[in-house]
Amino acid sequence: MIGREIIILIGASILFASAVAGYLAAFHNDVSVKEVVSTAFAAVIGLYCGRFVERKLRHG
């Protein structure tokens, strides 16, 4: 169970970081590591908040 959560955390972090970096490179021509990491971190926190709420609503 914990292993699955760690894999989801790592995968989501990589996915969001690459998406943010791609967006910044394509539309702003400037990729800042600080912006990529902070935005990816916020997205992963949002993902886990959504997973927590979904689990609470499913189990009652």
User: What is the structure's pLDDT at 59?
Assistant: 84
CA distance 10 to 58: 25
CB distance 17 to 36 below 8 Å: yes
Instruction: Find the Cα–Cα–Cα–Cα dihedral 9, 13, 19, 20, rounded to 10°.
Output: 140
What number is the average pLDDT over the span 6-13? Answer: 93
What number is the average pLDDT over the span 9-26? Answer: 95
Q: pTM of the full predicted structure?
A: 0.82
CA distance 7 to 23: 24
